[in-house]
Structure 1
Amino acid sequence: MNETKPQQTIAYFSMEIALESKLPTYSGGLGILAGDTIRSAADLKLPMVAVSLVHRQGYFAQTLDADGGQTESPVVWDVAKSCRELSPRIQIEIEGRSVHVRAWQYTVEGIGGHEVPVILLDTGLPENFDWDRTLTDHLYGGDSQYRLCQEIVLGIGGVRMLRALGHHDVARFHMNEGHAALLGLELLDERARWFQRERFDHDDVEAIKKQCVFTTHTPVPAGHDKFPLDQVRSTLGRDDIFDIHEVFCCENELNMTYLALNLSHYVNGVAKKHGEVSREMLQPKDASHHYQIDHITNGVHLGTWASPSFADLFDRHIPGWREDNASLRAALNIPEEAVWQAHQAAKARAIKEVNRRTVAGFDLDTFTIGFARRAATYKRAELLLTAPEKLKQIASRVGPLQIIYGGKAHPKDEAGKQTIRKIVQTSEALGPDVRLVYLEDYDWELGAILTAGVDVWLNTPMPPLEASGTSGMKAALNGVPNLSVLDGWWIEGCIEGVTGWAIDGLAKGKKSKNRTPLDAKSLYQKLEKVVLPTYYGQRDDWLRVMRHAIALNAPHFNTQRMVQQYVVKAYFE
């Protein structure tokens, strides 16, 4: 990237971005989605620059003891080995101090050679105070003050760094979640200074809205950052901004989601259902104001998540699928036996990894369920284990089971940690017909192995709290059917008995204060009456579902289609 040449570009801001499997610049789904977005933008030759923090000590490495107790440790990496240091330096004000920021560039290259630079901001400079040097160390670490300071670095520092690098003609600023919303404040201040005014006004707000796009990713309240106004005043060193109520509309707090909403001309959720939930959840009580919230369903970067055996299969039967993801609809023409062989190769890889990490003694012929995602209580990871005796009976009557779990709990999420402990401790009571492992330190590499290598992918969130859920898309790409609750993307991707199966304990149109027992009953029924009998006794039917999972889901649930929708709806409309 030429550091001084102005570019008409899309500036994509995200607190986390998964760049490589071994670089700890992400924690989970949000970061993986950001990385896949950038890879598809590079494939499509989209003029984009991405901005994030360097996260010198990562999210954390997870270790589990024999009882499932989680401990965390930093993941330190050598930034200079993977990134190029850029020459500009910028400064931002935090708590009345000048904090110096430098930038590192990681370059993502698309399939046609187009490059998208990723700018990683870094406060680890000797001229900064000791505490300020740590602000770009820990992803989602520290307390509320640490988080606010990080978001100042990302939003305000990110805009200033882009200007220092020569990006003076950015077409759109895309906020991937509300963490970057303070970029809007910097844009407002920029415009006021341009017109030689000390403060921004309504006309500035309207102008900045045209430049900003906001994607919200969570219907869970804890996922929306909020800071008390006194904390914001002392940290930013100003209180004039709160006089503009059309920007800072929440009393007694700065809500980063509403700041992003108020400063964006286009807002979207990440699945059709999530768009509906967001429109209901985020509308203010004041009926005089109404937010237009669209949806663009998430996807995955197919070239990244196709396992080696399936990538080879597609190369042989559907050449050009990386350039044209929609061409995978032709997967129905791939011979069934070739699909099965590719799956068995991916499964052998997963079984080998499980047995390398544990003494579980998993085997290739046993039906294997995969469940791996962040260990948050609303994900209901233990739904499959609601009635261990019932699960054992199903396995003894219909066929044995192997279950692979994985996922980290946030260091401060004690309920999530307890979920992990319950799962690990339940494994001891399941007996020989149901083998269960919980693999520690779930990450990109392990995720790729498991989503491709299990026989069915399980997802059991409490509706409507799953915004999207991209792991199931990776599974479908590799011919692995989903067995999941109808929430997030699966509402759009599920064709019962064709692409997979739905878990739905409620009759259509019914509601329940506690649907978990009903969903558990539905899950057990599907396993006993449909899924296991088909796998063990009706191989042709199983292969039909596998091929349809690829042909009907992969051509749509990919970031190539997703980015093209952003181009049409949000970037260059």
Structure 2
Amino acid sequence: MTRNEILGYTPDEKYNTPVAYFSMEFAIDQSLKIYSGGLGFLAGSHLRSAYERKQNLVGVGMLWKYGYYDQGRDGNGLMKPEFIEKDYSFLQDTGIIFTVTVHDAPVHVRAWLLKPETFGSAPLLLLSTDVPENDELSRSITHSLYDPNETTRIAQTIVLGIGGAMLLDRLGMEPEVYHMNEGHSVSLNFYLLSKYKSLEEVKKRVVFTTHTPEMAGNEAHSYDLLKEMSFFYHLQAHEARSILGLEGDNFNYTLAALKFARKANGVSKLHGEVARQMWGSNPAVCEIISITNAQNKAYWADPLIDQAMAADQDEAIINRKKELKRELFKVVADQCGKLFKEEVLTIVWARRFAGYKRADLLMRDWDRFIALVNNSALPVQIIWAGKPYPEDMESIGLFNQIISRAKPFANCAVLTGYELGLSALLKKGSDVWLNNPRMYREASGTSGMTAAMNGSINLSLPDGWVPEFAKDGENAFLIRPAADELPVTEKDRLENLSLMDTLEQTVIPMYYNEKKHWLSILRKAAKDVVPMFEAGRMVREYQEQLYAPSTP
């Protein structure tokens, strides 16, 4: 296959820099289950908007046999991870099989192609080790996204990074830019070192997007184990350490990526500041700018409510919102046996399920929560959804605790199966999109962008992208953050207090008693979120600020 056959379209002159975009996950379509959460949602929107702008960009990812996992329920209705084999007839077999060295042994890799016209995205090359030529251990490398076994996880990053770079060479593609979306593909740089013979030549070609604002979340492994796994390609561990000027016993993917790249970006203005604080004191790290994440409107926005909001047609907004709520409430009834009402204010908390995102903050003051959900004069309906990491027993325990606590209430539901399809239903069918992470832990948090595109008003702490968008009481509702220096439990108490005050005193009364004011906030949110938080802007900024060659 030639480069032109893979690309499938003629690039626009403004976006003609050849780019290879490496990511461990891509959320392109509900039917292609190779993603877990926000990183994949971002990558999927990037590829969709790259296609719309005819950018000269090819995605490089992994074909996960079992996906991330399927979120089922056990006999008691509690969450149960299920691993079910996936099959995709719409992927094209490129016919290319090559070998990547993992643990000093050859592992066969087959390359598949998602063609641009299939879902309206830039082309995506997907790597699989699940081929007959491999033994079962090698085949398992591409079985499950973010496998809990450490050596399997390392093997996955080798196949993505080194394998992805090797595939591009096999195809005769010479990207001017290798874009690492998070640090999982950092091993590609050791392949490029072997190819171009110097760190300076690698840095000319590599850029990096960092997403993780806490040190513990940035992947690191011991040099000895990485060398044993063949992570450094043809280099010894001490050579890798010396070339990058690294110290310590562990190789940190993010720090190494920042030393290999010519430029990097955080995924919101606030996260850019946090990233510079985290990494800036290390010698020889590249410049870290901010390019705020965004989402593809053509994919996410409901066309009818978008038209009504753009035309300021309040009656049409109200009617379409009721229709969208009915679609969501069918899922609630199907999964939970509860009949929600379209005229009732519906609050949704839905995103990747992790402790710092505090899915249960609403429930922290239990008596006040009960009073909220039992208020028949100003009723509310609350829905939770999200996927914990399948090996994170603490987060799964919290998910199941919310299921148990919400079960007695006819107006509270917890939904499973949080993927692209359910995410879209929730954004379109909610009135309020709740976001209450611990401050500075949410690098971007893009779900609120697509909620605003669908007539759902953000109720959020000012973290991630939110400070760049939110005007309290004009296009969103803000939860007041507690002082940074306070203990975590006190922050949780105060931020629950602010959340409940905002709901009881502002959000709920406005929905029922000041409909015109409510609709003005909803409409302004929809207008403000585009174009600043639509992925076309993000694609342009990547081209201009990250991909374009640096001028002397």
Residue 6 of structure 1 and its aligned partner are, at CA, apart by: 11
Conserved? CA contact 2:440–2:464, under 8 Å: yes
Equivalence for 1:381: 359
1:283-315 CA-to-partner distances (Å, cap 9, x unmatched) read 34x5x545421111101110111125335x26x
Equivalence for 2:129: 123
Equivalence for 1:366: 344
Equivalence for 1:60: 69
Among 476, 481, 491, the residue aligned to 2:457: 481
Q: Distance in 2 between matches of 1:4 and 1:417?
A: 45
Tell me if 1:34 matches 2:36: no
Aligned pairs (5 A) from 1:172-251: 172-192=177-197, 204-236=198-230, 240-244=236-240, 245-247=242-244, 249-251=246-248
Conserved? CA contact 1:59–1:75, under 8 Å: no
Amino acid in the other structure paired with 1:302 = K
Tell me if 1:421 matches 2:429: no
Among 293, 297, 308, the residue aligned to 1:298: 293
Residue 122 of structure 1 and its aligned partner are, at CA, apart by: 1.1
**For the structure 1 residues 209 and 110, does the alpha-carbon distance in structure 2 shift closer, same or farther, using more than 3 Å as the test?**
farther
Residue 406 of structure 1 and its aligned partner are, at CA, apart by: 0.5
Equivalence for 2:33: 24
Among 406, 414, 422, the residue aligned to 1:446: 422
Conserved? CA contact 1:497–1:545, under 8 Å: yes
1:233-254 CA-to-partner distances (Å, cap 9, x unmatched) read 1111755253253426142112
Among 141, 149, 158, the residue aligned to 2:155: 149
Equivalence for 1:265: 262
Q: TM-score, normalised by structure 2?
A: 0.92
1:319-358 CA-to-partner distances (Å, cap 9, x unmatched) read xxxxxxxxxxxx5542222222222222221122211222
Among 50, 56, 60, the residue aligned to 1:47: 56
Q: Distance in 1 between matches of 2:63 and 2:372?
A: 48
Equivalence for 2:313: 335
Amino acid in the other structure paired with 2:416 = E
Q: Distance in 2 between matches of 1:257 and 1:35?
A: 22
Amino acid in the other structure paired with 2:236 = D
Q: Distance in 2 between matches of 1:479 and 1:110?
A: 29
Q: Distance in 2 between matches of 1:108 and 1:279?
A: 36
Equivalence for 1:72: 81
Conserved? CA contact 2:90–2:118, under 8 Å: no
Residue 110 of structure 1 and its aligned partner are, at CA, apart by: 9.6
1:110-152 CA-to-partner distances (Å, cap 9, x unmatched) read 99x8x62210011122222221011111111131100000100
Residue 554 of structure 1 and its aligned partner are, at CA, apart by: 2.8
Aligned pairs (5 A) from 1:76-91: 76-79=85-88, 81-91=89-99
Conserved? CA contact 2:263–2:288, under 8 Å: yes
Q: Distance in 2 between matches of 1:296 and 1:110?
A: 28
1:234-275 CA-to-partner distances (Å, cap 9, x unmatched) read 111755253253426142112111121111011011011111
Conserved? CA contact 2:223–2:237, under 8 Å: no
Q: Secondary structure at the match of 1:381?
A: coil
Residue 547 of structure 1 and its aligned partner are, at CA, apart by: 0.2
Tell me if 1:353 matches 2:331: yes
Residue 187 of structure 1 and its aligned partner are, at CA, apart by: 0.6
Q: Secondary structure at the match of 2:340?
A: coil
**For the structure 1 residues 257 and 510, does the alpha-carbon distance in structure 2 shift closer, same or farther, using more than 3 Å as the test?**
closer
Q: Distance in 2 between matches of 1:269 and 1:410?
A: 23
Unaligned regions of 5+ residues in structure 1, if any? 193-203, 315-330
Conserved? CA contact 1:12–1:49, under 8 Å: yes
Equivalence for 1:326: none
Aligned pairs (5 A) from 1:390-429: 390-395=368-373, 396=375, 399-428=378-407
Conserved? CA contact 1:455–1:481, under 8 Å: yes
Conserved? CA contact 1:483–1:500, under 8 Å: yes
RMSD of aligned Cα (Å)? 2.2
Conserved? CA contact 2:20–2:177, under 8 Å: yes
Q: Distance in 1 between matches of 2:462 and 2:69?
A: 31
Conserved? CA contact 2:26–2:35, under 8 Å: yes
Q: Which moved more, 1:498-507 or 1:181-190?
A: 498-507
**For the structure 1 residues 332 and 303, does the alpha-carbon distance in structure 2 shift closer, same or farther, using more than 3 Å as the test?**
closer
Q: Distance in 1 between matches of 2:314 and 2:536?
A: 27
Tell me if 1:536 matches 2:533: no
Q: Distance in 2 between matches of 1:238 and 1:290?
A: 23
Amino acid in the other structure paired with 2:155 = C
Conserved? CA contact 1:219–1:466, under 8 Å: yes
Q: Distance in 1 between matches of 2:83 and 2:270?
A: 36
Tell me if 1:253 matches 2:256: no
Q: Distance in 1 between matches of 2:376 and 2:406?
A: 19
**For the structure 1 residues 293 and 134, does the alpha-carbon distance in structure 2 shift closer, same or farther, using more than 3 Å as the test?**
same
**For the structure 1 residues 426 and 246, does the alpha-carbon distance in structure 2 shift closer, same or farther, using more than 3 Å as the test?**
same
Tell me if 1:96 matches 2:104: yes
Equivalence for 2:10: none
Conserved? CA contact 1:242–1:248, under 8 Å: no
Unaligned regions of 5+ residues in structure 2, if any? 8-16
Aligned pairs (5 A) from 1:460-475: 460-475=436-451
Amino acid in the other structure paired with 1:130 = E
**For the structure 1 residues 5 and 365, does the alpha-carbon distance in structure 2 shift closer, same or farther, using more than 3 Å as the test?**
closer
Conserved? CA contact 1:398–1:532, under 8 Å: no
Residue 423 of structure 1 and its aligned partner are, at CA, apart by: 1.0
Q: Which moved more, 1:35-44 or 1:225-234?
A: 225-234
Amino acid in the other structure paired with 1:234 = E
Equivalence for 1:497: 473
Question: How many residues get paired?
Answer: 535
